[in-house]
Amino acid sequence: MSSIAMAPQPGADLVASYPLVAQLFTRHGYAELSASNLDAFLAQPGRALLAFLEDPLRIKETLDLAVILPQLERAFPARFRVGVLLPEAARQQQLRYGFNRWPALVMLADGQYVGAVDGLRNWDDYLAQIEALLASGPSRPPTVGIAVRGAGDAPSACAG
């Protein structure tokens, strides 16, 4: 008698439920990052590419990124190390890096933010954007976009 594979329940262990995600660690050797080890990973010199994963039941493109990520590493050999943030850790760090769409990739240089590629992209777009990030220096992560003015500041002409 054969059994029918059931879809994982929301909140199920992402690594145990999805072999494509598990392979990021077991086959490709990427670091699984959390609040407890993220800063140590970022303290290492050089470029790092962080992959922010969400639950595939919420964001189905997460599994696509699990396939694309190793291909990106092969397209840019020895140019960056890879760390993966699973949903809980990814949600905790999202505001720190200012991306808006899931899944997302964030490039850092010597622990400092360089830029992000959020949402799913065409392969050529990934190649062009990763190449541009590798050529760029650190910058400030995007913010939520709330204007801050002092007590005597006049509103700008662009405020609407």
The CA distance from 67 to 71, in Å, is: 7
Q: Which residues pair with 85 in a beta bridge?
A: 33, 52
Answer yes or no: is pLDDT of 159 > 70: no
What is the reported pLDDT for 11? Answer: 45
More confident call, 16 vs 53 = 53
Of the chain, the percentage scoring pLDDT greater than 90 comes to: 75
Q: Which of 25-34, 73-82, 142-151 is least confident?
A: 142-151
pTM score: 0.82
Domains of the chain: 14-135 (3.40.30.10)
Answer yes or no: is pLDDT of 153 > 60: no
* Length of the chain measured in residues: 160
Q: What is the DSSP string of 5-67?
A: PPPPPTT--HHHH-HHHHHHHHTT-PEEE-TTTHHHHHTSSSEEEEEE---TTT-THHHHHHH
Answer yes or no: is pLDDT of 79 > 60: yes
